[in-house]
Amino acid sequence: MDISEQIEAYLIDRSDWVSASEICKRFGVRERALRQLGNRIGFCSRFAISHPRKGLKHVAAATTTEYLHAKHAMTRHAISELRRKASWDRRRHEVTRESKKSHIIFEPDTGQILMPGII
């Protein structure tokens, strides 16, 4: 049984909020390893919800209110990230660079030449 499975079994057994520090001490892991870091999924990412003051709880032990709160928070965060990405795309496409040799303007992503003032 790997550490993630051990932690999951522990949270199911406890069926209540458990502090991250308690889990770290019990299983000899660093707190950051419990959550996702880049492409590496955290030990608790697949099965636990978290609360900043209460700690971690297995999704199966969470009340409907706790589960919906965590799920909606995740959805809000995901939407926020997608909006930020869209904003970056808009800003990137709005920016053009001008050639120093002439008045030709290049679109940054496609490299298309834009000729201002010519209709």
Q: How confident is the model at residue 109 (pLDDT cuts 50, 70, 90)?
A: confident
Contact between residue 55 and residue 48 where contact means Cβ atoms under 8 Å apart: no
Give how far Cα 26 sits from Cα of 19, 66, 89, Å.
11, 25, 45
- Please give the domain boundaries of the chain with CATH numbers for all domains: 1-62 (1.10.10), 63-119 (no CATH)
Residue pair 19/55 in contact (Cβ under 8 Å)? The answer is yes
- More confident site: 74 or 107: 74
Under 8 Å between Cβ of 3 and 27: yes
Tens digit of pLDDT for each residue in 25-69?
999 999 889 988 888 889 999 999 999 899 999 999 999 999 999
Provide the whole-model pTM: 0.70
Q: What φ, ψ does residue 115 adopt, rounded to 5°?
A: -110, 100
